[in-house]
Amino acid sequence: MASQHTAEFRQEAVRVALTSGLSRKQVATDFGVGFSTLCRWIQMER
C-alpha cells in the first residue's frame, strides 16, 4: 500500500523520534504509523 502521509508529516515524526526522548515505538504509536515505517523514515532522513 502506498504511503498517504505528506513529507511534512514524515519529517515531523522523524524530528520527534530523534529529539523528544520518547522511544521510537511510542512515537510510532503516537503518530499512528508502524514501528518499521518510522525506522525506515529515520534511516532515509540520515
Is residue 39, in this structure, part of any structural domain at all? yes
Rounded to the nearest 5 percent, the helix, strand and coil shares of the chain are 70, 0, 30
Is residue 17, in this structure, part of any structural domain at all? no
Please state the pTM of the whole predicted model.
0.87
Mean pLDDT value of segment 16-25: 97
At 22 the pLDDT is: 97
Range of the domain at 32: 7-12+22-45
Give the contacts of 4 (CB within 8 A, at least 6 positions apart).
none
Is residue 36, in this structure, part of any structural domain at all? yes
Split into its structural domains, the chain has a count of 1
Tell me the CB-side half-sphere exposure of residue 16, using CA atoms within 13 A.
17
At 1 the pLDDT is: 45
At 46 the pLDDT is: 83
Q: Could you read off the pLDDT of 29-44 as tens digits, one per residue? A: 999 999 999 999 999 9
